[in-house]
Structure 1
Amino acid sequence: MSSQSLEQLSNLRPLTRLVTGHDQHGKSELHESSTFQWSHHDDAKMTFSVAYSTSSSPPVLTNDADLEAHKAAMARGMGLVNPRGSVLRFVDIAPGHVCAMHRTRSLDYGIVLEGEVELVLDDGVSKMRRGDVAVQRATMHQWRNASENEWARMVFVLQDCQAGVEEDLGDGGWLPPSGN
């Protein structure tokens, strides 16, 4: 299961979220700056931080509707995917950890920011290094930190997709279902 925390468990650089907007004259401004809030999963071997989410596609920015939708999604809680929207999630993976085999009903872009991560599929393992991207198309998969002593960090953009496959979160109930 998970627990919400402000604490970052990894020794990787802390991250800041900057959200832009417009002032009353239509000029761009910094709307908000905040540190990431982390949730801990798999006995604190994986930590997640949702930097932003949308609840529609395309998102509605007028009158800060997207900001309110993000706040509402975070307040109600979400699985890996936000139904009818997108999720920008950062994931820190402990040394040597491998998550449960799982599938989301989504199109995901997973980018390695720090360390080396292995993408485990039914047909084998692919090693990913800093800057490499996986285009994850609703297939069963696992993520494994290839290092035995260094944390790894990935960023994911998950977009809800049309039905065709069902979400399968594997063993252990490590996250609530997405409901899409």
Structure 2
Amino acid sequence: MPDRNKIPRRIITGKQNGKSVIVEDADTSNVVEHFPGLFISDLWTTDTMPVVLSDTHQMPNYPMPQLPHMGSLFRHVIIPPDKELGLTAAPGQPHPLMHETATLDYIIILSGEIYLIMEEGETLLRAGDLVVQRGTNHAWSNRSEQPCIQIAIVLDAALPLT
């Protein structure tokens, strides 16, 4: 079981007897440490658009999103410094975690800092910064001394960006 400080609390609302209520208030159970210090918590997922609010789906936790067609994913990620993961990118070579998904990702940096690396260029993100990641090849590189915490809202995309 991961360190309690790495597990987000999840509150789920619903209705009972026609009134709004808190259905669940508990630590997230779907937390996986994919690499030492890299914690991914898949908090909620859907498999339709528009969303059917009465549906709930527990989804296996993967390092890269594995969305159902027309689905969405709400994800909490703690990314440790690259050096703690043993990650280095040789000059002129892509970052070892470079990846591309067929998704539209809304990323919110909650704390720390991290570089968003593209095939051409990169930018430093800090707490409060927002990213709209549109199915492009990218990587995250934490060159600081502290973990970076981010939230990702991941949506299935119909076609790749051209």
Query: TM tier, shorter chain?
Result: 0.7 to 0.9
Give TM-score, length-normalised by structure 1.
0.74
- Displacement after TM superposition at 1:161 (Å): 0.6
Q: Over aligned residue pairs, what C-alpha RMSD do you find?
A: 2.1
Structure number with higher strand proportion = 2
The gaps in structure 1 that reach 5 residues or longer are 1-5, 166-180
Structure number with higher helix proportion = 1
The aligned counterpart of 1:175 is none
Aligned pairs, how many?
147
The aligned counterpart of 1:47 is 39
The aligned counterpart of 1:117 is 114
Whole-Å separation in 1 of the counterparts to 2:23 and 2:128: 29
Match of 1:161 among 147, 157, 160: 157
Percent of residue pairs bearing the same amino acid type: 33
Q: What's the CA shift string for 1:35-54, capped at 9, x where partnerless?
A: 1231122x324210011111
The gaps in structure 2 that reach 5 residues or longer are 88-95
Whole-Å separation in 2 of the counterparts to 1:150 and 1:39: 19
Whole-Å separation in 1 of the counterparts to 2:143 and 2:148: 8
Whole-Å separation in 2 of the counterparts to 1:115 and 1:49: 18
Q: What's the CA shift string for 1:31-84, capped at 9, x where partnerless?
A: 01121231122x3242100111111111112xx2x22xx13xx2x666504221
Give TM-score, length-normalised by structure 2.
0.82
Contact 1:119 1:126 in 2 (8 A): yes
Contact 2:2 2:33 in 1 (8 A): no
Contact 1:81 1:87 in 2 (8 A): no
